[in-house]
Chain A
Amino acid sequence: MAEAHALPDTFPKYLLRNAELFGSQWAMRHKDRGIWQSWTWSQQQGEIRDFAIGLAELGCRHGDKVAIIGANRPRLYWAVCAVQSLGGIPVPVYADAVAEELSYVLSHAGVRFAVVQDQEQVDKLGSFADKLTDLVAMIYDEPRGLADYDLSALHDFADVQKMGRSAQEEDAGRAKAWEDGIRSASGDDISIMLYTSGTTGRSKGVMLKAKNAVKAAQDTVAFDRLTEKDSVLAYLPLAWVGDHYLNYAQGYVSGFTMACPESGQTVAQDLRELAPTFYFAPPRVFEGLLTSVTIRMEDASRLKRWLYRYFIEVARKHGEAILEGRNVPLGARLSYAFGNLFIYGPLKNVLGLSNIRVAYTAGEAIGSDLFSYFRSLGVNLKQLYGQTEAFLYVTCQKDGEVRSDTVGPPAPNVDIRISDDGEVQFRSPGMFSGYYLEDEKTAETMTPDGYVKTGDAGFFDTDGQLKIIDRAKDVGKLASGALFAPKYLENMLKFFPNIKEAVAYGDGHEHAAAFINIDLQAVGNWAERNNIAYASYQELAGHPLVYEMIAANVEETNRRLSKEPMMAAAQIRRFLILHKELDADDGELTRTQKVRRSYVAERYAPLIEALYDGSSEKFVETEVTYEDGRKGKIRATVKIADAPVFGAADPVREAAE
C-alpha cells in the first residue's frame, strides 16, 4: 500500500486528516455566553496551527514539556494538540491540585511552558515560581483579573495565536512547514505524560508513546463503532486518563464532536441540551441520577407515580432483553413501546441520555439494580476496566454480553493473565513506556516478560469475563486456604440499601465475618413506617427487628456467594451491627470515605474476638471525637448473630475436622 493510505500514528496527523475528510463537521463545541459555540475540524486546525506557531515563536521545541492546567475548555484541548504538533509533550495536571502537589509535578516534569485556565492557576504557579527553574512562559485562557500582573512572562492565549498569525503573514511557507513537521513526526515520540492521581504515594508521570496511544484508540473506536457522527460531553478532569482517552484520543481517531460544558456546575443542563451519543460516568454519578429521579417521582402526582411504577416494572422485566435483541413476547414489546412513549423517553430526555449509543462506567463496583435500571431504560451501559498505565482500556464489555458483576473480556489486542498469587497482569497496545525519571518504579511495575502488574486481584469467570475482586495486597486466605477478598464481600453487602458500610474479616481465620453499619436514613425510614421507636443510632442498630432484617441481607449475600466457586468458601458465618457509625473524624474512614480496615480491626479488637469465639454478645467501650474536637466514650453491648451458609462445598468444616 502507498504510504499516504497508512493510518496516522500521531494525533496531529489525525488533525490534518480530519480537517481534510470532515472539514465542515463540528470538532469542538463550547457553551459560552449561554450559546453553543462550534468549531469545525478545519477551523479547529486553524486555531491549533496559530497557537502552535505562536508557541514556537515563544521558543517551544521538540521534547519540551508543557503543563496544561484547567477545566475542560476548547483552548486547553487545542493546546494539547498544538504542543504535540511541535513534538513537545503535554503534561495535563489536575486543576484542583493544591500548590504543593502542583509544584512537585511541574518541577518533576521540568515543564518549560504552562497553559492555564485563569487567574487562580496563575496565582498558584506564582506561589512556587522559584522552584520552576525551567519555566519560560505562562499562557492563560481567561484574562479576567490578570490586568495588573507583570506580563513579561505571561501571555494571553489569543495573543499567542496572534503571534502565530503574524509569523505566518511574514513567512508564507510557515503554515506548510508546520504541516510538514507533523507529517514527518515519528510515532515513537512521547504523545503525552499523565500523572497518576497519587492516592498511593507520590504521583508518577506515565509516559505514553504516540503510536501506542493511537493504536489503542483505533482498537476501541472500531470496537464501539464510533464515527465522526458521534458526540461526547467532556466533563471529567482533563488530566485524568479517562478524559484524555475517551474524548481526546477517540475524538481525533474517529473524528467525533467533543463538547465542553459551560462550567462545572452546568454539566447536567449541558448534557440535557446536547444529548451526546457516547457517555462515561463513574457509578456514583448514575447513583445520583437515580436518586434524583426517585425523589422527584415521590413528589409527582398520583397518576404519574402509578405510570412510573407500572412501566419501570415492565422495563425491569423486559427492557434488558429488548436492548440485547433477545426474544421477547409481542405483548411485552407493546407495553415497552408504550412505556418508552410515556416514561422512558421523557426520562432519558431529561437526563440527557436520549441519544446514547454507548455508555461506560468504571472505577468502582456498581450495584446490579442500579446497572439494570439504566440498561432497562434502553441505555447501552457497559463496564470497562482500565488503568493509566494501559492508556485506559484493559477489558471492556461487548454489546449484548453485559453483566454488572464483571468488567468484560480483554479489550481488542490486549493480553491478560492472572499470576499465581491472583494478580491481574496485562500487555496491551496502549501500554505505557515507563514512568518519567523513575526507572526503578517502572521495573517494579513490569514483569520480566513484559506484562504490567495492575495491583488488582481478579479471576476469569466461566464465560471469559474478568472479575476484579479487590486490591491484590488486601486479598487474604481463610485458614482452609480458600480465597478471601474482603472488598468483594463488603461491596455485595453495601448494595443493600439498609447497609451503609461493611467491614469483612477472615484472613487467617476459619471463616469470614463482618461488621455492619446500618444506613440511618433507610433504616430510620423503615422504622418510622413500622412504628418502631428509637432514641439513638445505637438503639436502632441494636434493635432485634433490625438484626432480623440485616440477617436476611447477609443470608442473601451468602446465597449469591455460594453460586460462585471461587467465593463460596468465604460466606459470612457471623456478623454484628456496630453501635456507632464509622467516621473519618475517628480515623475509621479515610477523608474520601473508604474504610480503614486494619485500623477498625485494632480499635474493635474485642468485637473481632467475639466474632470468632462463639459468644452471643460483647461489651465494648470506644473513644469518640465529637465535631467540636471534644472526646467522649461510647459504651455498648453488641450482639453477634449467626448467618446460614449454603452450598455443598464446605471447606471450613473439613478444615476443622
Chain B
Amino acid sequence: MNAHPGNDLIVAPDDDGIAKGALLMDVKNVSLAFGGVKAITDISFDVRKGEIRAIIGPNGAGKTSMLNVINGFYTPQTGTITFRGHARRAMKPHHAVRQGIARTFQNVALFKGMSTLDNIMAGRSVLMKRNIVWQMLWHGPALAEEIEHREKVEEIIDFLEIEHIRHTPVGKLPYGLQKRVELGRALAMEPSLLLLDEPMAGMNLEEKEDMSRFILDVNQQRGTTIALIEHDMGVVMDLSDRVVVLDYGKKIADGPPDQVKADQAVIDAYLGVSH
C-alpha cells in the first residue's frame, strides 16, 4: 500500500549507480513531425552524468520540441531515447518525472496563489510514499514523512537564498525570483537530469548573473546533470561543458563551446546565410 506504481525507479541522483562522465541519456535518430511540419529531423546526441549540456539554435530550430521529447510531452515518430539504461519511445511526462527528469519552463509555470514554500513542496509530491488517505489523516508515518520532505525543501530554500520569500505568494514576486522558485521546485524532485528551458529569458544582467551562479552551484555542489536551452550565447558558452546546435530541426554541430563557436555552419546559422 505504500508505493506508487513505478516508484521503484525513484532514487537520488547520486545513487543511480552511474559514474560521473558515463552515459546518462542517449538520444538516437529522433524525428518529430506535426502533420507535414518537421520539427526535428534525425537528431542524435548524448548527455553524460555530471555535465552541463546546452542545446542552442536560432528561433524555430526545434530546441523546445527536443526538450519536450526528452520530457515525454511529445512522442517522436522515429528514434529512441535511452535514459539510465532504459530505452523508451512513448511515455507520459509523469513517467519522465518518476525516472528522474525534472524541468523548468520558458514561461514560468508556478502555482501563483501558493507560497514559495508550497510550490517547492509540490515538487516533492512525486517522492511522497504515503498514499492520500495517510496524508489526509496527517498522522504517524505521513507526518514524519512530511517533516522529512520539509527539511529537504528548507535545504533548497537555503541553497537558493530565498528565505525572505518563503511565505510570499509566488504571483507577487518579481520575475527573476519566480524563476528561482521554479528552479527550486525542479530541484525538489532530486532529479537525475534537470532540463532548463531558457532559464535566463527576460532577465536583466544582474538576474542573469545570479541565475548562472545558481546553475553552476546546482551542478557542482549537488552533482545534478543539467541540459539547458538558452538564447543568450554568452551565458551558454560560459556555463556549459558541451553544446548541441540545432538549425531547422537538424543538428549542425556538437562539441565543447570553443569548438562550436568556431564552426562555420553555426556562424552561418546565426548570421542567417540563405538556405
Contacts and interface: CB of A to CB of B under 8 A. Distances in A.
Nearest to B216: A145
A33 B164 contact: no
A263 interface: yes
B121 to A, nearest CB: 12
B221 A33 contact: no
A265 B217 contact: no
A34 B164 contact: no
A138 B157 CA distance: 27
A269 B154 CA distance: 17
B163 A265 contact: yes
Given A33-B151, A147-B221, A266 B164 contact: yes
B107 to A, nearest CB: 27
A653 interface: no
B250 interface: no
Nearest to B150: A34
A263 B167 CA distance: 15
Nearest to A266: B164
B226 to A, nearest CB: 18
A423 interface: no
Chain A: interface secondary structure? loop
A144 B159 CA distance: 9
A263 to B, nearest CB: 5
Interface centre among B117, B163, B167 (most CB of A within 10 A): B163
Contacts of B232: none
A522 to B, nearest CB: 27
Contacts of B166: 34
Interface string A13-42: 000000000000000000011110000000
Contacts of B158: 32-33
A145 B158 CA distance: 13
Contacts of B117: 34
Contacts of A145: 217, 221
A263 B151 contact: no
A186 B151 CA distance: 46
A320 interface: no
A262 interface: yes
B221 A34 contact: no
Nearest to A32: B158
B155 interface: yes
Contacts of A33: 151, 154-155, 157-158
Interface string B148-172: 0011001101100101101100000
Given A144-B221, A145-B217, A265 B164 contact: yes
A147 B220 CA distance: 10
A263 B161 contact: yes
Given A144-B221, A145-B217, A263 B164 contact: yes
Interface in B100-127: 117
Contacts of B151: 33
Contacts of B155: 33
Interface centre among B161, B164, B167, B221 (most CB of A within 10 A): B164
Nearest to A142: B158
Interface in A464-510: none
A265 B168 CA distance: 13
A140 to B, nearest CB: 16
Nearest to A265: B164
A269 B161 CA distance: 16
Contacts of A144: 221
A34 B157 contact: yes
A262 B161 CA distance: 10
Interface string A519-532: 00000000000000
A34 B154 contact: yes
A651 B167 CA distance: 62
Interface string A224-262: 000000000000000000000000000000000000001
A266 B157 CA distance: 13
Contacts of A262: 163-164
A34 B167 CA distance: 10
A381 B115 CA distance: 35
A265 B158 CA distance: 13
Interface in B212-237: 217, 221
Contacts of B167: 269
Given A33-B155, A34-B157, A263 B217 contact: no
Contacts of B157: 33-34
Contacts of B221: 144-145, 147
Contacts of B163: 34, 262-263, 265-266
Contacts of A266: 163-164
A35 B150 CA distance: 11
Interface string A263-284: 1011001000000000000000
A375 B157 CA distance: 38
A147 B150 CA distance: 26
Nearest to B117: A34
Contacts of A34: 117, 150, 154, 157, 163, 166
Nearest to A264: B164
A642 B117 CA distance: 60
Interface in A15-71: 32-35
Interface in B195-225: 217, 221
A269 B217 contact: no
A250 to B, nearest CB: 27
A147 B163 CA distance: 23
A263 B163 CA distance: 7
A321 to B, nearest CB: 38
Contacts of B164: 262-263, 265-266, 269
A35 B155 CA distance: 12
A99 to B, nearest CB: 19
Interface string A147-172: 10000000000000000000000000
Interface string A294-320: 000000000000000000000000000
Contacts of B150: 34
Contacts of B161: 263
B159 to A, nearest CB: 8
B178 to A, nearest CB: 17
A34 B158 CA distance: 9
A35 to B, nearest CB: 8
B185 to A, nearest CB: 17
B161 to A, nearest CB: 7
A34 B147 CA distance: 12
Contacts of A32: 158
B117 to A, nearest CB: 8
B270 to A, nearest CB: 31
B5 to A, nearest CB: 33
Nearest to B151: A33
A269 B162 CA distance: 13
B18 to A, nearest CB: 22
Interface centre among B151, B158, B217, B221 (most CB of A within 10 A): B158
A352 to B, nearest CB: 15
Contacts of A269: 164, 167
Contacts of A265: 163-164
6 contacts: A33-B154, A33-B155, A35-B154, A145-B217, A263-B161, A269-B164
6 closest Cβ contacts across the A-B interface?
Answer: A265-B164, A33-B154, A266-B164, A262-B163, A34-B154, A263-B163
Interface of B: 117, 150-151, 154-155, 157-158, 161, 163-164, 166-167, 217, 221
Interface of A: 32-35, 144-145, 147, 262-263, 265-266, 269
Given A34-B117, A265-B163, 18 more contacts: A33-B151, A33-B154, A33-B155, A34-B150, A34-B154, A34-B163, A34-B166, A35-B154, A144-B221, A145-B217, A145-B221, A262-B163, A262-B164, A263-B161, A263-B163, A265-B164, A266-B163, A269-B167
